[in-house]
Amino acid sequence: MSLTLADAIERHILAQLAVAGEIALQRVELARQYGCAPSQINYVLATRFTPERGFLTESRRGGGGYIRVRRAAQPELGRIAAALRAQPDGIAQAPAHALIARCRDAGLLTGREAAMLQALTRREAIGLPLPARDVVRARCLVAALLALSDER
């Protein structure tokens, strides 16, 4: 269980977010705490706190600069399915999995349901060449999410 620096910083930020819902951090200061290059903070934000994963960040440079991080509002399943269906090129694996994870975190999907959907939207599961794969992935996902929005 090797905890990388990026993992540690991610936890740090997540812990702060759990308390406050919206936080402002100072890049150099955080980098100093972890003894790393300031750009490492950008790396963590870029790979873990993306819009796809349900986070929004904004920042300001110059004197008194900051980076603000907050959770994005989550739309409901039906709207998600509709938005997905509007994509003519389908959806790639990474954004699809991020989308599923967000739905799970928002309580729209159970852990089992999310695991199932992520498994069957993997490249190897669909097993078609691009671009057909992304299209089929999107269609299956839409069908699944719509089925759930009827159920319950």
Q: Which residues bind its own copies (CB under 8 A)?
A: 1-4, 7, 24, 26, 63-64, 66, 110-113, 115-120, 122, 124-128, 132, 135-136, 139-144, 146-148, 150-152
121: which 2 tokens? 């939207």
Q: Where are the alpha helices (DSSP H) in 49-131?
A: 77-85, 93-105, 111-120, 123-126
64: left (phi over 0), alpha (psi -120 to 50) or beta: left
Describe the crossing of helices 27-34 and 5-20 by its angle, rounded to 10 degrees.
130
Among 15, 28, 115, 132, binds DNA (CB under 7 A): 28
Convert residues 54-73 into a mask of x (bound to DNA by CB under 7 A) and - (unbound): ---x-xxxxxxxxx------
Q: Is the dihedral of CA 37, 21, 114, 128 positive or negative?
A: negative
Measured in degrees and rounded to the nearest 5, phi and psi for residue 41 equal: -65, -40
38 binds, among its own copies, DNA, none (CB under 5 to 8 A by kind): DNA
Q: How far is the CB of 107 from DNA (least distance, A)?
A: 26
Q: Hey, what amino acid is at 40?
A: Q
20 binds, among its own copies, DNA, none (CB under 5 to 8 A by kind): none
Q: How far is the CB of 27 from DNA (least distance, A)?
A: 3
117 binds, among DNA, its own copies, none (CB under 5 to 8 A by kind): its own copies
Q: Summarize as ranges the residues that interact with DNA (CB under 7 A).
A: 2, 4-7, 25-29, 35-43, 47, 57, 59-67
